[in-house]
Structure 1
Amino acid sequence: MEETRKTIKAVLADDHGVVRSGIKSLLESEGDIEVIAEAENGQEALHQVGKLTPDLAILDVRMPEMNGLEVARNMQKSGIDTKVLILSMHDDEDYILQAVESGALGYLLKGSSKDEFLKAVRTVYKGEKYFSADVSRIFINSYLNIKKDKSSSPEASGGNYDLTKREKQILTMLVDGIGNKDIAEKLNKSIRTIETHRFNIMKKLGVNNVVELLKKVEEDKALKDFLSQG
């Protein structure tokens, strides 16, 4: 007699209702995957995961109130052992690296095929890591570059302020008076991506707006020296 597969219980979070509906239909058509709750923002996702303790949380990166990476970080801090799969349209290396640091086991682009998506869900459910080929290449290249940077430039100026390489680049541009639109064009990224990076920079440096951010750089000599290192 064929062994019955255990049902994978998932919480699905995406701020677009049509996208959620499509993903839910795809998952539940498999027969052994059940979406037990949906969320349209990060706060709701974190609440549902904490209340229902599903096997898997499928999180979009860009959501109101709290983004998917913040949800994953909060889950990690709270000791919630629900597996996390990030599903995003962004292939930005900072998002991918932050997803890994936040405890996510998988990162998949929304343009992936149905078969790859289902493979990612089942792989992450088993506690194994899953990254699509494009994402894996970005991750490996970024990791190697970070190791190279650290080995060639030991931290002699009081730390890196927890900023990623991309965040440092964007902060330097902001200090130079370059606006979000121009930064997006220079880095070939969307304005929303730049805005997300700016939000993360302000959060890490403990400021509430760009005026406070620029003031902090002006008054913090160590931070100014850190940015000038290139």
Structure 2
Amino acid sequence: MSNQKTSDIVRIVLADDHALVRDGIRALLEEEKNLKVVGEVSNGLEALKMVTELTPDVLIIDIRMPELSGIEAVEQLNQKEKSTTKSIILSMHDSEEYILKSVKAGANGYLLKDTDKNEFIKAIHTVNAGGKFFSGDISNVLVNNLFGASAANPAPKNQSKQNPFDLTNKELRVLELILSGLTNKEISEKLQNSKRTIETHRFNLMKKMKVKNLLDLAKKAQKHNLVNP
């Protein structure tokens, strides 16, 4: 038995509908002596129930889960008057919509699943101490939303154009880069995102615009004036 005081240990509940993901996160966290995973669940309703029963210090929760989404679970958690549990959204999605909804729901942090270990650990301790933690890309979304694009990084010109597909600013940027001929790898390097994140944006673009290939994507983007001539 460790001699470390219980009060020094950050008690964590993991909520993700993929067991392999939970296993990986738990293994990573429990390499740290002052972090302890006290429970795991696979949907939002179970997360709320376990948080009520165990009162962990931090809930780490995915966005897209059965029964109740991570955002809905965080919102309900923050509606409980006596709840002291802090929450971190851990997701593969860096869409503006998800980020802003998470912040509005009361999430104390938002991290992408390709976050490195050091940043992950730092986020947990920051949130547990009462602070907020948003990784670089996420912070940029929040800043741009609150204050508008900076002069050094102006918003795309197409932002003021028609947008019948409800594309986010990030999706519009990715669309422009796709149609300029860049590969997913080149776009990921340019935007400093993981290749998997760019692949997710490409999938979401195809789905929202209801197209199945690059040619149709280009035609529809041009038809609706989504890209600069």
Does the alignment reach a TM-score above 0.5? yes
Instruction: Give, in whole Å, the separation in 1 of the partners of 2:85 and 2:202.
Output: 31
Cross-structure match for 1:129: 132
Structure 1 residue 100: Cα displacement: 1.0
Instruction: State the number of aligned residues.
Output: 162
Give the match for residue 187 of structure 2: none
Aligned match of 1:87 in 86, 90, 104?
A: 90
Q: CA RMSD in A?
A: 2.9
TM-score, normalized by length of structure 2? 0.63
| 1:3/1:133 CA distance change after superposition, 3 Å | same
Q: SS state of the match for residue 38, structure 1?
A: strand
Identity of aligned residues (%): 43
Counterpart of 2:49 in structure 1 is: 47
Name 2:79's counterpart in structure 1.
77
In structure 2, list runs of 5 or more residues that go unmatched.
150-162, 167-173, 177-200, 209-229
Deviation track 1:196-230 (CA, whole Å, cap 9, x = no partner) reads: xxxxxxxxxxxxxxxxxxxxxxxxxxxxxxxxxxx
Per-residue deviation, residues 113-172 of structure 1 (Å, max 9, x unmatched): 0111111111111110111111101111012249xxxxxxxxxxxxxxxxxxxxxx6xx5
Which runs of 5 or more residues in structure 1 are unaligned?
147-168, 175-184, 196-230
Give me the whole-angstrom Cα distance separating, in 2, the residues matched to 1:190 and 1:143. Answer: 27
- In 1, the alpha carbon distance for the partners of 2:65 and 2:202 equals 18
**Residues 77 and 189 of structure 1: is their aligned pair in 2 closer, same or farther, counting only changes over 3 Å?**
farther
Equivalent in 15, 18, 21 of residue 20 of structure 2: 18
TM (normalized to structure 1)?
Answer: 0.63
Write out the 4+ residue segments of structure 1 that deviate beyond 6 Å after TM superposition. none
Distance 1:68 1:134, change over 3 A: same
Partner of 2:113: 110
Relative to structure 1, is the Cα distance of residues 190 and 63 closer, same or farther in structure 2, using a 3 angstrom cutoff?
farther
Using the alignment, how far apart are the partners of 2:130 and 2:62 within structure 1? Answer: 19
